[in-house]
Amino acid sequence: MVAPSRVREPLHRSFPKEMDDDDISRIVAAYAAAAGRCQRGGLDGCEVVASAHLIGQFFSPIANLRLDALGGSVENRTAFGREVLDAIRKEVGDEFIVGMRLSMHEGGPDGLHREECVEIARIFEEAGTVDFFNVMHGRMDTRLALAEQNMPGMGIRSAPFLDDVGWFRSEVSLPIFHAARVNDVATARHAIDAGLVDMIGMTRGHIADPHIVAKIRSGQEDRIRPCAGANLCTSEARACVHNGATGRERTLPHLIQRSDHAPLKVVVVGGGPAGMEAARVCGERGHFVVLFEAMPNLGGQLRVAATAGWRYELDAITKWLGSELDHLGVDVRTGTPANETEVLAEDPDVVIIATGGAPDLSWVNGAEHCVSVSDILERRVLPTTRVLVIDGTGDHQASSVAEYLAEAGSDVELVCPDTSYGLDMPPLTQVAFRKRLYANEVAVTLDHRLEKVEPSDNGLRVTLTNTLTDVSVDRIVDQVVVEHGTTPIDDLFHALCPKSRNDGTTDLDALLAVRPQQPLPAGSGEFDLFRVGDAVASRNIHAAIVDSLRLGVAL
């Protein structure tokens, strides 16, 4: 790794080599060559990233400690960037669009302040090598900076930096772009109409729905799939929490095509994310769909998760799926538990069981003394004074309830069996939770598993065992909340299996290849039976969505 100076960046962690003249010449040429490839590839332009990456590190007094002509004054600190842009212009000419992504304020006592950022912008304006600035706020050298400044997710208000962008635009003459949690068209339209910005970028919005522009043009703005700010796209998964096609475009379509065959009658049981997606995709395929949901409202565990304070935006997924079901004419029957008789009365060709799962406390020695995350978040059980939360998954559930309990006034300890906290969370969600748990004074204990819970004179005695040393310790608390995934609610599925053509068997090879499912040769029933989501096994929102998309798109 190379950098302007030997300053270790916290996020990428290496100790870099201070760039010498050979490094500079090589990298400047590489920038120019990359721009040339963009031009030859048929693009209209490219953007040079100068926000906390290499060029931005030269700009910043935090990362640039050089004593030569590339360090010191603002003019000197822009020299490397000017050399890069000069080389790019020489490569691509004047007609090719070249922009620069630039921080408009790094924050902190040592970072670039906004007057310096404007000075940098004016230097490049005068040089004439840049056509626009794409401005951001803050830095990118820690996960917290990414989570709150560069890629703010749920819990951060919509379009948090537009006022700063408007000020910056008033100080420079080139067009200004901006992209940071402007995740709906109405806000983007307002920002442009108000003169705060010339163009809005909606990166994560397009990850959730790459057809945003087409839907606006066709008058279907209300059908745009919203970005919920879950930031799964920023994790190694590189996926959207509720668009199963994102990152899988070779096999799964964003736009569902109608089936070439006669419409089927499809019955979906369960109105959580798996059931709603199954009903949506089957509706897009042109099938006649009935969805049974026992609760008064759709959403399932999404609805529960959205009650946890700052994660309320998960409700946007439920609302969008519900709206799509209305648009497609799906027969949605909420407040209607479905049994075997009711399903068969629909004379279905296909039955999809998406009944979800129940909190798994069966493994706990003393489970009768414990409650689940949903017990607390759905207000079936009130918080007490001293609460121990057991996190058996490393995802958001236990942390959500720990935060909720702490804000309700409980003294909370969160216990994880893993060697690190929140292993199954996207990194930016993890750091957001960590900050909130610190702020609420939630104690976090790692490397401990739950052994047993038993009554004590002063409440409940909880025995924990260190997963590395096998040494046990006790805690005296008033309440134990256990998160350990779910067990499938699959009674209806098993009751229907003997009556189905395929005995409830899903051909996994066909599922993964997005091929139609074939009934078993020996099947004598009159419908095919499948199950998706937590009715199969305890997983997450994204897995449930992908299950249903894979199955439905080939029906």
Q: 3-state class of 90 per DSSP?
A: helix
Please give the Cα distance from 159 to 179 (Å, whole number).
Answer: 9
**Strand 45-50 relative to strand 97-103, pairing:** parallel
Instruction: Cite the beta strand spans of 23-172 per DSSP E.
Output: 45-50, 97-103, 132-136
Count how many residues are written for the chain.
555
Phi and psi angles of residue 156, each rounded to the nearest 5 degrees, phi first: -105, 135
**Strand 472-477 relative to strand 459-466, pairing:** antiparallel
Tracing tokens 């009715």 back to the chain, one arrives at 535
Instruction: Write out the two tokens for 122.
Output: 């004016």
- 3-state SS of 3-18 is ECCCCCCCCCCCCCEE
Q: 3-state class of 373 per DSSP?
A: helix
Q: How many CB atoms lie within 10 A of CB 116?
A: 18
Q: Which helix (H) or strand (E) holds 207?
A: helix 203-208
Indicate the burial class of 249 (C-beta count within 10 angstroms; 0-12, 13-18, 19 or more): exposed
Q: 3-state class of 99 per DSSP?
A: strand
Instruction: Write out the two tokens for 393.
Output: 């998954």
Q: Which helix (H) or strand (E) holds 413?
A: strand 411-415
Known catalytic residues?
53
Q: Which residues pair with 50 in a beta bridge?
A: 102
C-alpha separations of 277 from 27, 173, 322, 355, 512 in Å: 47, 47, 9, 13, 17
Please give the Cα distance from 116 to 100 (Å, whole number).
Answer: 16
DSSP code of 232? G
Q: 3-state class of 26 per DSSP?
A: helix
Please give the Cα distance from 240 to 415 (Å, whole number).
Answer: 29
Instruction: Write out the two tokens for 399.
Output: 């942390």
Q: What is the dihedral of CA 59, 64, 67, 72, to 10 degrees?
A: 40
